[in-house]
Chains A and B, each alone.
Chain A
Amino acid sequence: MVKEISLSKVVKALLKKIWLVVALAVICGVGANLYSTNMIAPKYSSTSMLYIYNAGVGNVSGQLSQTNMVASQGALMLYLELYKTSTVLEAAEREIEEYKQGYLSGDEAYKDYGFLADRTITAGQIGSMITAYQANQTELLYIRSTANDPRVAKLVTTVVTDVLQNEIPKMLGATSNKVMQKATYSTVPTGPNVAQHTLLGIVAGAAFACLLVLVTLIFDNVIRVEDDLYEDFPEIPVLGIIPEINATKSDKRGSIHKNNRN
């Protein structure tokens, strides 16, 4: 039987079972922490920055005009739309394959790309690794890739930046760009966010415990205390509330009563 329950009853039930909430929160938090630390592979990111500008529109040498700025913004928007097109990604894939073949052929210029020897990075994979975003309403475009290997992350960022730098102007005509920052290389993982996962685990554990308590309360059909009787049958008095006889042990104090009995 599902019955109405008051907020105060819910709060009392939660406080009564606070140990369950804390226990589940701790267990889930620890579990999330361990999972995040040991089961999720660390991710590394590499970022480059391109400055996009439209040099052919209203340009007075060395000075930026309003028209120029508007046109540059428009060009940047185009970059954001085009960076994940198959044209760009396939071009990036080909370039990475060149690196690989260069290493395999023993070319000294590619000696640092040994990590490509036993892997193939497809256009689809490149697409899933990279993101591009505008910086603060400026004409600066960040290209960022994330991978399990920091070397792969840097290579993909470098290659995609190259493609954007060289291919998009050819496609669009008047736009130009300039690399303001080459692809970074970092051995400090950017993911997983262990602290965030742990916190999520704690919250999820606590929420699950609260849900359990709530469901138990809603579907609890048993009379437990006198308040349940008052609630269901307000017109019928409770004559007596007798505690568990086995739980109340007889002791010396019982002798007080004995002295009072006839």
Chain B
Amino acid sequence: MVENNERLETVIGDKTSFAVVEAYKSARTNLLFSNTTDGCNIIVFTSSSPAEGKTVNCINMGIELAEAGKKVLIVDSDMRKPQVARTLGLAQAPGLSELLSGIVDMSNIKSVCNKTKFENLEVICAGLIPPNPTELISCDRMGTLMSALKEQYDYVLIDTPPALVVTDTLLYRPYATGYVLIVRANKSKRENTAKLVNRLKQVDAHIIGFILNDKKIESKGYGYKNYYKYEYKS
């Protein structure tokens, strides 16, 4: 397992600042209380354009959900530019592409599930980059895979490519409980975000909400200084 230190810094952990951790906890709480199902929730993470923080937020939300005691699986569905394996320092293959192409049998899903250092969190990486990612996602084996995953996990978080670039994201519509849209402050354009929302609405996808990523902290302490008054004592 080779760790990419630079990318690992964006994954929340012991060294992450209080403000960021609390922000993710807050987002987790909102997600838990949003209009999701009692059974397994399949949540698709997407954005309008590349480099808006889909992968990092998908992973961090997965970590927070796992910490809340949920059984979480992250699926890297971006089979063109996979990021999850690199970010978490996991083996890229075998992964989703092998499952969907039949190289790995569906009865052997666990063989492509990577355990992580986070309890309750597992990852299916993208696998080797195939020539036909869209066709793989739209094949029947995807339905079989989703059904199998639903039985084993409380949350399946799917990291997908930018929705305005490729159509992969929309192909998850039949399986997804909802979509979480990642927007990057000072980068995402309003019109692109509007196009993304419209595109999802056209296929009648349920949009759970936005996560605004990378917001500049303007106020001192982001309000977290007051939290030190409520320091927990062991």
Query: Which residues does A use to contact B, with CB under 8 Å?
Result: 1, 3, 221-226, 228-229, 232-233, 236-251, 253-254, 256-262
A239 contacts which chain B residues (CB < 8 A)?
27, 30-31, 34, 180, 208-211
Contact A222 to B209, CB < 8 A, known contacts A243-B217, A254-B17, A259-B232: no
A77 to chain B, nearest CB (A): 65
A249 contacts which chain B residues (CB < 8 A)?
17
Please, how many angstroms separate the alpha-carbon atoms of A194 and B112 in the complex? 80
Contact A261 to B14, CB < 8 A, known contacts A241-B23, A242-B212: yes
Contact A221 to B234, CB < 8 A, known contacts A237-B210, A242-B214, A256-B18: no
Query: Which residues does B use to contact A, with CB under 8 Å?
Result: 9-10, 14-21, 23-24, 26-28, 30-31, 34, 53, 56-57, 60, 67, 119, 180-181, 183-191, 193-194, 197, 207-217, 222, 224, 228, 231-232, 234
B197 contacts which chain A residues (CB < 8 A)?
233, 236
- Is chain B's binding surface mostly helix, strand, loop or mixed? mixed
- Chain A, residue nearest B21 (CB): A257
B69 to chain A, nearest CB (A): 10
Name the residue in A3, A223, A233, A249 with the highest tally of chain B Cβ atoms < 10 Å from its Cβ: A223
Q: Are B26 and A240 in touch, CB under 8 angstroms?
A: yes
- Chain A, residue nearest B214 (CB): A244
Please, how many angstroms separate the alpha-carbon atoms of A239 and B24 in the complex? 9
Contact A224 to B23, CB < 8 A, known contacts A237-B30, A237-B34, A254-B18: no
A243 contacts which chain B residues (CB < 8 A)?
17, 19-20, 23, 214-217, 222
Q: Are B215 and A253 in touch, CB under 8 angstroms?
A: no
Contact A229 to B215, CB < 8 A, known contacts A1-B190, A224-B185: no
A19 to chain B, nearest CB (A): 15
- Is chain A's binding surface mostly helix, strand, loop or mixed? loop
Q: Are B31 and A223 in touch, CB under 8 angstroms?
A: no
A241 contacts which chain B residues (CB < 8 A)?
23, 211-212, 215
- Chain A, residue nearest B26 (CB): A240
B120 to chain A, nearest CB (A): 11
Q: Are A222 and B210 in touch, CB under 8 angstroms?
A: no
B188, B189, B207: the one contacting A236 at CB < 8 Å is B207
Please, how many angstroms separate the alpha-carbon atoms of A253 and B20 in the complex? 12
Q: Are A254 and B30 in touch, CB under 8 angstroms?
A: no
Contact A242 to B27, CB < 8 A, known contacts A232-B194, A260-B232: yes
